[in-house]
């Protein structure tokens, strides 16, 4: 007896994929932001986001209201990112890319170790920013949380676009990233711009962590590590220099991984990540700058 294709399940798994992608999108945005403003990929972005999440938890634990803690964490994260750039990245600002990558790897270990030093390793939870009450539409369930995460990510893309396009600060940030030498000639304080870029990315990472923790139902010192992997994959797919690409890439990745894991038998759960990464590699071979990325022109 032939079974009718279960369209509802397909829709549900797609929605779940979008929800997964939504938990990675903000971190992917943070990665893109750092890449665009400093030309470097920050391997510690996830751990910094995790650290911010612990700070938020501590604030709530000390009695602050959730939203106060939320806002305060954003501010602290901005400050932290700014400070990290000034203290750790600045000395290697003009060093080759690989040196800076290794420094960010060092930061990965620093934040990872510091988080375990200061807080015990038990499982914790952070309050929800959005409601998780299920809403049913045509047999498919989702929640405000799923929509909220995606909305916040897209909202950030818009904010960034406005910042870069229409503000003096944004212009200075772009100039400092693209052409530091000439920017200095025009009076832009390049070092400060880089630090602000790091601060913004860290703040964004903080939001990413604070929204991912409830989306993943619990958190501890390791919770951002898988998220970082997926965020990288999503950002690369969308184009490392495109904020919109980061979000769209993450969402596409979430849906793709879910559907291929569920509908292609031999892939199953075990192979869904390798297959997804292979597909991304395929995309890169055809379009090395990612879906929304800008092609690099190499001047001789």
Partner 1 sequence: MKRVYLGIAALGALVLATVASGAGTATPGVTSTQVVIGGTIPLSGPAAAYASVGRGAQAYFKYVNAHGGVNKRKIKYIYKDDAYDPAQTTDKTRELVQQDHVFAIFNSLGTETNLATRPYLNAVKVPQLFVASGATTWGKDYKKYRWTIGYQPNYRAEGTIYGRYVAKTNPKAKIGVLYQNDDYGKDLLKGLTNGLGSKAKLIVSKQSYEVTDDQVSSQIAKLKAKKAKTLMVFATPKFAIQSYVYAHKLGWRPKVFVNAVSSAANVMGIATLGTSKKQTEGSISIVFLKDPTDAHWKRDPGMKLYRSIMKRYKGGNPNDVYNVYGMSAAHTFVAALKKAGKSPTRDSIMRAATHLTVKNDPFLLPGITVQTTSSDHFPIDQARLERYHNGHWVVFGGLFRVR
Partner 2 sequence: MRRVLGIGAGALVAVGAVALVAFIPRLVSDFHSFDLALVGVYFIAIVGLNLLTGYTGQISLGHGALMAIGGYTTAILVTHEHWRDVWTIPLAGLVAGVVGFVIGLPALRLSGLYLALATFGFAVALPSLLKKFSGLTGGTDGLSFFEKAPGQVTGISGTVTIFGHSMTQNHFFYYLTWAIGLVGFALVWLILRGRFGRAFRAIRDSEIAAVSTGVNLARNKTLAFAISGVYAGVAGSLFVILREIVTPLSFSFLLSITLLVGAVVGGLGSLPGMVLGALFIKYLPTVSTHLSTRPGAPDFVFGVAIILIMILLPTGAGGLIGRALKPLTTWLYTRP
Residues in contact with partner 2 by CB under 8 A are: 35, 40-41, 43, 88, 91-92, 95, 97-99, 101-103, 105-118, 121, 229, 232-233, 236, 240, 270-271, 273-274, 277-278, 280-281, 284-285, 288, 296, 298, 300
Which residues face 143 on adjacent strands? 134
Q: Which is nearer to partner 2, 57 or 108 (CB)?
A: 108
Our finding on whether 220 is near partner 1 (CB under 8 A) is: yes
Please state at what angle helix 45-61 crosses helix 190-215, rounded to 10 degrees. Answer: 60
Please state, in angstroms and rounded to a whole number, the distance separating the CA atoms of residues 180 and 186. Answer: 10
Q: For partner 1, how many residues bind (rule: CB under 8 A)?
A: 45
Closest distance between partner 1 and the C-beta of residue 86, in Å? 29
Please state, in angstroms and rounded to a whole number, the distance separating the CA atoms of residues 208 and 290. Answer: 22
Candidates 50, 40, 77, 69; CA nearest to 194 is 40
41 binds, among partner 1, partner 2, none (CB under 5 to 8 A by kind): partner 2
- By CB under 8 A, which span of 52-60, 170-178, 197-205, 255-263 interacts with partner 1? 255-263
Closest distance between partner 2 and the C-beta of residue 143, in Å? 29
Q: Which is nearer to partner 2, 157 or 240 (CB)?
A: 240
Closest distance between partner 1 and the C-beta of residue 294, in Å? 30
Residues 6+ apart with CB under 8 A from 230: 20, 24, 250, 253, 254
CA distances from 33 to 22, 25, 26, 28 (A): 17, 12, 10, 9
């Amino acid at each position: 007896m032939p079974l009718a294709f279960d369209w509802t399940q397909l829709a549900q798994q797609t929605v779940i994929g979008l929800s997964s992608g939504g938990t990675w999108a903000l971190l992917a945005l943070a990665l893109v932001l750092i890449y665009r403003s400093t030309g470097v990929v920050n391997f510690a972005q996830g751990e910094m986001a995790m650290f911010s999440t612990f700070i938020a938890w501590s604030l709530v634990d000390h009695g602050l209201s959730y939203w106060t803690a939320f806002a305060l964490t954003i501010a602290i994260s901005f400050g932290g990112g700014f400070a990290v750039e000034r203290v750790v990245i600045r000395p290697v600002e003009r060093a080759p890319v690989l040196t800076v990558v290794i420094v960010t790897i060092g930061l990965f270990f620093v934040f990872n170790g510091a988080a375990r030093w200061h807080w015990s390793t038990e499982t914790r939870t952070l309050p929800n920013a959005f409601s998780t009450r299920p809403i049913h539409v045509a047999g498919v369930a989702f929640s405000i949380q799923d929509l909220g995460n995606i909305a916040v990510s897209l909202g950030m893309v818009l904010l960034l676009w406005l910042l870069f396009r229409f503000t003096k600060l944004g212009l200075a940030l772009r100039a400092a990233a693209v052409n530091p030498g000439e920017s200095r000639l025009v009076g832009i304080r390049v070092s400060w711009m880089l630090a602000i870029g790091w601060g913004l990315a860290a703040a964004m990472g903080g939001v990413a962590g604070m929204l991912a923790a409830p989306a993943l139902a619990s958190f501890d010192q390791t919770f951002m590590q898988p998220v970082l992997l997926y965020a990288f994959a999503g950002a690369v797919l969308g184009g490392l220099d495109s904020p919109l690409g980061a979000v769209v890439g993450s969402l596409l990745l979430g849906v793709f991984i879910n559907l291929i894991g569920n509908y292609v038998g031999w892939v199953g759960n075990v192979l869904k990540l390798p297959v997804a990464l292979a597909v991304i590699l395929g995309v890169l071979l055809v379009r090395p700058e990612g879906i929304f990325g800008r092609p690099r022109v190499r001047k001789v």
